[in-house]
Amino acid sequence: MSSAGVDAFEAEQGLEIVDYYWLESSQADFSSCDPDNARVFGIDRGNNNTGTQIDESLLQHMKSYNVGQSRITLDLFGEDDLGGEPINLYTPDATVAVLGDCVENTGEPGWYQFTGYVNGTTYAGNYEEVLLTPHYFWIGDFENEQEAR
């Protein structure tokens, strides 16, 4: 899952302090997932890396997490929290997530999309919520993308 928020932000620079991230899908069951299942969950600064390479891990900035059937939520460290540092998200950055074998498909084979959400404080001191919409992906017993299409 990868999503860049450049067109989603109202703030010109992005978020100076990120509070929460969540990831959800009505076709997925995340209830077996925990942070150890995250092979990658981080930020590709400038959205210029290839594949699933990131520049900064969100897991290092995670204060707590909550896993529900269709949603994973990460609460990140704030300025006043002990034990960790806050993280920012610039407008051209991409959020990248790769989960291990913990996600169960609850729908039929086909094309699906996760929805991401991030909120926090902008560089102007305003609160902002940003919806991150990644590309579609297929689930099913397909040999390749062409067969899935």
- Output the tens digit of pLDDT for each of the chain's 149 residues: 677 665 667 778 889 999 999 888 888 888 998 888 888 999 999 999 998 999 999 999 999 999 988 899 999 999 999 989 999 999 889 888 888 888 888 878 888 888 888 999 999 999 999 887 777 777 778 888 888 88
Do the bridges between strand 137-139 and strand 110-112 make them parallel or antiparallel, or are there none, so unpaired?
antiparallel
pLDDT of residue 61: 96
CB 98 within 8 A of CB 12: no
> Domain limits at 57?
2-148
Count of domains forming the chain: 1
pTM over 0.85: no
- Here the CATH number for the domain that contains residue 23 is 2.60.40
- For residues 23 and 21, give the distance between their C-alpha atoms in angstroms, rounded to a whole number: 7
Do the bridges between strand 62-67 and strand 71-76 make them parallel or antiparallel, or are there none, so unpaired?
antiparallel
Angle at 119 between CA 23 and CA 71, to 5 degrees: 20
pLDDT of residue 56: 95
- For residues 94 and 107, give the distance between their C-alpha atoms in angstroms, rounded to a whole number: 27
